[in-house]
């Protein structure tokens, strides 16, 4: 396990909120933040509080990533999970779209945890090999690239906007 400190704030003691933010940053920097061990679908915690793979749920996570790379869109993945009778992380029969989207965006499944100060967007810490990975980094990157290919968001000189072309989140067929 190793920690990358991408940005560490200068020590200041001005206000209570800054002191709290600094304390959170220092715990993140020295690897003692509880946020590194926050539980998510596919993992359980052992007696010492470390994340360990839950094999049954990890199989679901791997399937979701594989189905997406094989061309299924989020609604298609929800349908597959429903047909297989796999309950959502909340234990409900039906998975919601946002749960699948967040799972496909979550780098934590590779064993890497990144912490970002949501208030200032200044302090970022990344711990690699924080816990056992469920998917490989290459699978994660492939999903991110596939999401970009399927997206109808276009970046140009005027910023980001939706494309005027018809959109489908399904993988484009190559003939």
55-69 and 97-105 are packed helices; what angle lies between their axes, rounded to 10 degrees?
Answer: 90
Confidence of residue 131 (pLDDT cuts 50, 70, 90): confident
- Mean pLDDT of the 90-100 span: 94
Across all residues in the chain, what is the average pLDDT? 80
Tell me if 172 is assigned to some domain: no
Tell me if 173 is assigned to some domain: no
Tell me if 158 is assigned to some domain: no
Q: How many CB atoms lie within 10 A of CB 42?
A: 24
pTM: 0.73
Tell me if 115 is assigned to some domain: yes
Tell me if 164 is assigned to some domain: no
- Mean pLDDT of the 103-110 span: 94
Give pLDDT, residue 1: 57
Tell me if 87 is assigned to some domain: yes
Confidence of residue 24 (pLDDT cuts 50, 70, 90): low
> Position of tokens 């064993």?
111
Tell me if 168 is assigned to some domain: no
- Mean pLDDT of the 121-146 span: 86
Tell me if 50 is assigned to some domain: yes
Question: What total of structural domains would you count in the chain?
Answer: 1
Return the CATH number at 27: 3.90.1750.20
Q: Taking a C-beta distance cutoff of 8 angstroms, is the pair 163, 153 a contact?
A: yes
**Domain with 87 in it:** 2-150
pLDDT digits (tens, 9 = 90+) for 39-91: 789 999 999 888 899 999 999 999 999 999 999 999 999 999 999 999 999 99
The CA-atom distances, in angstroms, between 75 and each of 28, 38, 87, 95, 142 are 36, 27, 15, 9, 19
């Amino acid at each position: 396990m190793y920690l990358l400190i991408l940005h560490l704030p200068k020590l200041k003691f001005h206000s209570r909120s800054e002191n709290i933010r600094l304390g959170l940053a220092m715990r993140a920097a020295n690897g003692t933040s509880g946020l590194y061990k926050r539980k998510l679908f596919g993992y359980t915690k052992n007696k010492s509080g470390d994340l360990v793979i839950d094999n049954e749920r990890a199989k679901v996570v791997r399937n979701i990533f594989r189905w997406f790379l094989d061309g299924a869109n989020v609604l298609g993945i929800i349908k597959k999970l429903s047909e297989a009778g796999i309950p959502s992380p909340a234990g409900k029969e039906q998975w919601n779209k946002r749960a699948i989207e967040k799972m496909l965006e979550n780098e934590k499944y590779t064993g890497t945890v990144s912490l970002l100060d949501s208030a200032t967007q200044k302090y970022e810490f990344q711990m690699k090999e924080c816990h056992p990975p469920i998917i490989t980094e290459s699978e994660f990157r492939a999903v991110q690239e596939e999401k970009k290919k399927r997206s109808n968001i276009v970046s140009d000189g005027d910023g980001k906007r939706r494309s005027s072309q018809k959109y489908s989140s399904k993988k484009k067929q190559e003939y």
